[in-house]
Amino acid sequence: MEDQYIPQGWLKRFVQQATNIHHFRVEVFIGLIDLLRQELDGRFDEVNTNLLTYMTCLSPKNNLSSFNEDKLLKLAILYPSEFSSTNLMTLDCQLDIFINDVKKDVEVQNIHDVTSLSMKLVDTNRHVACPLVFLLIKLMMILLVATANVERVFSGMTYVKNKLRNRMGDQLLNDCLVTFIERDVFLQVPDDDITDRFQEMTNRRIQL
């Protein structure tokens, strides 16, 4: 690895002289890391990055070592419909009670994921004592499913609203997306029921 790097092809004269270890470490490895960082920066904006960072603060790994009350309060602020100003003050108190209570529980120390933590809170009735903390955990688990559903919608939109139907209205687009995304459910509906429903919507010249 300490030998001089010899490139292949006609680019030899354009390559700066360097050792093999310098080439693979700086030009290949670090260059790849930069490309991945640029890709992540383009896909996740500052709000999404903060959201993912705040979610890790309730990870039960290592006896809730990553717990951060300030970041969890900032996470709750991102859900204004769920947490009012009064609820945020109550959540601040419940987080103190929650962390002091959970860290003393030996069984919680063996939990490594948020799902198991939420199940443990229900088994021990802690979800009743700290309802806002439990609500925050539920929102964290729902976020992953909601994000996946949004990705499915955008993927389905490329099939539904194509070049031949680019002037489709919002209501028709919404109806078509629902039937396309949930096609497994709609395939279970009998054709006769669909025909009867369509016939009853308005008078038709021809009986279907």
Q: 3-class SS at 158?
A: helix
Question: Has residue 24 been placed in a domain?
Answer: yes
Q: What is the pLDDT of residues 164-199, one digit of tens each?
A: 777 777 788 888 888 887 888 888 888 888 888 877
Structural domain includes residue 140: yes
Final residue before a domain boundary, out of 146, 174, 191 = 146
Mean residue pLDDT of the chain comes to 78
Is 154 a member of any domain? no
In a domain, 100, yes or no: yes
Q: Are 69 and 95 in contact (CB under 8 A)?
A: yes
Structure tokens at 36: 């991945």
Q: Range of 83's domain?
A: 47-146
């979800």: which residue's tokens? 127
Residue 3 falls within a domain, yes or no? no
Distance of CA 108 to the CA centre of its chain: 25
pLDDT tens for 71-80 read: 888 888 888 8
Pair of tokens at residue 73: 């309060």
The band of 13, judged by pLDDT with boundaries at 50, 70 and 90, is low
How is residue 205 written in tokens? 């010249």
Q: Phi and psi dihedrals of 59, rounded to 5?
A: -70, 130
CB 133 within 8 A of CB 120: no
Position 7 in a domain: no
Number of domains in the chain: 3
In a domain, 30, yes or no: yes
204 and 122 part of one domain? no
Looking at the structure, tell me whether residues 36 and 51 fall in a common domain.
no
Which residues on neighbouring strands pair with residue 4, listed in sequence order?
A: 19
